[in-house]
Amino acid sequence: MNEVYDTYIAGPMAGHDKLNIHKFRAVQNYLRDRHAISSLIPHDIPPHKHLRRCPENFRKNPASDHAECCYARGDLVYMLRDCAAVVVLPGWNASVGTRLELMVAAQCGLPSMFVPRGSMAEILYTNHHQHQPILSIPDEMWYAINDARYQTAQKET
């Protein structure tokens, strides 16, 4: 069985240092520490597996043997199959991939929430065990998360 997560974190990657992983990881850690929400980030998702060449005419991912479309495909599969909701990092509006993920999530009924740009510094540099929550999780996101947790628990018993 696949591991299931409360949220998928979507955000800009291309053109950022180390594909922006420090911001994804910081929000992932914040959600875990402060809200007990588990998150999947695209950096931890393997590319779509195929036997022969990557699809032609797609941009190659500079850090791997796969084209970017192989990663995009893997990300969407994991987001829809294994995650209950979507958390969106600042800069999403300038990222084609993030806009697409957001549209797919909305079309498929996954609730989403935006991390305001102003809260990123606090998320990056605060000890989350000692402070008030920085983000407030919308009710519809908790409904989706709790529903998925309940279904997972049913499957496991």
What minimum distance in Å lies between the beta carbon of 44 and Zn ion? Answer: 17
Q: How many residues bind Zn ion (CB under 5 A)?
A: 3
Considering only residues 67-86, where is the footprint of Zn ion by CB under 5 A? 70
Is 31 a binding residue for Zn ion by CB under 5 A? The answer is no
Which residue from 13, 27, 54, 137 is in contact with Zn ion, where contact means CB under 5 A?
A: 54
What minimum distance in Å lies between the beta carbon of 66 and Zn ion? Answer: 4
83 within 8 A of 8, measured Cβ to Cβ: yes
Q: At what angle do helices 68-82 and 96-107 cross, to 10 degrees?
A: 30
Is 66 a binding residue for Zn ion by CB under 5 A? The answer is yes
**Sheet strands side by side (includes 112-114):** 39-40, 5-10, 83-88, 112-114
Closest CA relative to residue 141, chosen from 100, 113, 105: 113
Residue ranges that bind Zn ion, judged by CB under 5 A: 54, 66, 70
